[in-house]
Amino acid sequence: MNIAFKSTTLSLENTERRTILVAGGAGFLGSHLCDHLLHAGHKVICVDNFSTGRMENLWHLLRFDTFSFIRHDIISSFDVPVDEIYNLACPASPPHYQADPIHTMKTCVFGSLNLLELAARHQARIFQASTSEVYGDPQVHPQPESYWGNVNSFGPRSCYDEGKRSAETLFRDFHVRYGVDIRIARIFNTYGPRMRPDDGRVVSNFIVQALKGQDITVYGDGSQTRSFCYVDDLIKGFVRLMGDQSAIHTPVNLGNPVEFTVRELAEQIVTMTGSSSKIVYKTLPIDDPRQRRPDITVAKRELGWEPSVALTDGLKSTVSYFERQLVRPSGELVE
Ligand code: NAD
Ligand code: UDP
């Protein structure tokens, strides 16, 4: 296969504040990050192919003359003068990243390569949204950054897990070889407003099912665990990690260390919404990790960061968001 990419030059005005590119800025986390950076006074360029991202996540940002967006797939290179880059571009939900696994791998590898080259060209600091999936189905619990993981290279999750692992390697090598100023966050399950109702991840699935009175689909027996971080906490962690005061060039876990079983999450959402939904048990997907909880010692020590939003509070605002998403102005539920 011939992998030759044409470079497109995108022209933009300069501002006195930092110009920050957010790849994947139309997605769940990316749009919250754009909000935060714009409110901090920066100029933000969102680059997104709108595969899982949505224009409705960006409408409210169009009033900022410091905001622009470009529809572009990061697997093709491009050039734009920037001071900082956040790479969040990649579908994060298992059904979405498995829908086109080759494109997911290309996004992780070619996309990261293109953004690293952009960073090297403009001496820009660059952030990678890595993932707890680099630990696979972990045999060490909770997971510290020093754990190398237990990842299947030949399964349905591999395009994402191995893609993200390769991206970390590329980041490391650009730092060592070209001195690129890198930051890598290993993000653990994060939830909040602006997840898509059809996202497919557990929090949005359960809330949407509960609000619609549909069966709550617990995969397996629901004894597998996850640790859920509210989006606002996570974005604060991103910005700390990218700050001038932090100079950590190795991966840092960002997530909430409070662990729940998936069954507990389902029960909590049914109770909170007052739903009549029943909990039903479905087949556990292949390679579904049994347990996951971040060891955030490094983030606490190096960044002074730890999450502050409890699951019940985060779920309340996420439920309100989905109530607004699912109810038409007429009062009917969206199908
Ligand atoms: P998301 O699917 O809502 O957002 C991803 C965004 O990237 C979307 O706007 C999508 O359109 C865009 N995108 C995908 N491929 C692209 C490409 N090739 N070129 C340009 N744009 C592309 O997911 P999210 O939850 O906001 O996750 C954002 C990032 O954080 C992802 O890289 C994900 O792997 C990482 N992450 C998220 C979580 C989490 O719990 N939310 C956990 C671990 C890692
Ligand atoms: N899950 C579930 N029901 C759903 C969606 C997910 O029981 O409708 C489970 C899934 O099998 C996994 C956990 O919830 O054990 C978290 O899944 P998610 O897709 O949110 O993220 P993952 O951590 O697996 O990437």
Active-site choice (86, 97, 135, 160): 160
49 close to ligand 1 (CB < 6 Angstrom): yes
- Which residue is associated with the tokens 């991840």? 201
User: Residue 14 — very low, low, confident or very high, per pLDDT cuts 50/70/90?
Assistant: very low
Q: What is the pLDDT of residues 253-280, one digit of tens each?
A: 999 999 999 999 999 999 999 999 999 9
Residues 6+ apart with CB under 8 A from 225: 259, 260, 261, 262, 290, 291, 292, 293
Contact call for residues 109 and 167 (beta carbons, < 8 A): yes
Structure tokens at 136: 């696979």
User: Residue 129 — very low, low, confident or very high, per pLDDT cuts 50/70/90?
Assistant: very high
Does pLDDT of 9 surpass 80?
Answer: no
CA 90 to ligand 1 centroid distance, Å: 4
The secondary element (H helix, E strand) that includes residue 279 is: strand 279-282
Structure tokens at 84: 């900082």
Burial 285-308 (b: 16+ CB within 10 A, else e): eebebebbbbbbebbeebbebebe
Contact call for residues 52 and 116 (beta carbons, < 8 A): no
Angstrom CA distances, 177 to 87, 120, 173, stand at 20, 11, 6
Q: What is the pLDDT of residues 112-126, one digit of tens each?
A: 999 999 999 999 999
Does pLDDT of 52 surpass 80?
Answer: yes
Strands 252-254 and 84-87: unpaired
CA 286 to ligand 2 centroid distance, Å: 11
CA distance 186 to 235: 13
pTM over 0.80: yes
Lowest mean pLDDT among 62-66, 172-176, 242-246: 242-246
Q: Give the chain's domains with CATH numbers.
A: 17-190+228-256+292-307 (3.40.50.720)
CA 54 to ligand 1 centroid distance, Å: 11
CA distance 45 to 25: 8
Strands 67-71 and 78-79: unpaired
Q: Above 0.90 for ipTM, yes or no?
A: yes
Q: Look up residue 18 and give its amino acid.
A: R
CA 93 to ligand 1 centroid distance, Å: 8
User: Residue 16 — very low, low, confident or very high, per pLDDT cuts 50/70/90?
Assistant: low
Nearest atom in ligand 1 to 196's CA: 3
Mutating to test ligand 1, I would choose from 56, 77, 80, 88 the residue with most ligand atoms within 8 A of its C-beta, which is 88
Mutating to test ligand 2, I would choose from 209, 215, 226 the residue with most ligand atoms within 8 A of its C-beta, which is 226
Residues 6+ apart with CB under 8 A from 300: 306
Told to judge if 160 belongs to the known catalytic residues of this protein, a careful annotator would answer yes
215 close to ligand 2 (CB < 6 Angstrom): no
CA distance 128 to 65: 26
User: Residue 6 — very low, low, confident or very high, per pLDDT cuts 50/70/90?
Assistant: very low
202 close to ligand 2 (CB < 6 Angstrom): yes
Nearest atom in ligand 2 to 93's CA: 19
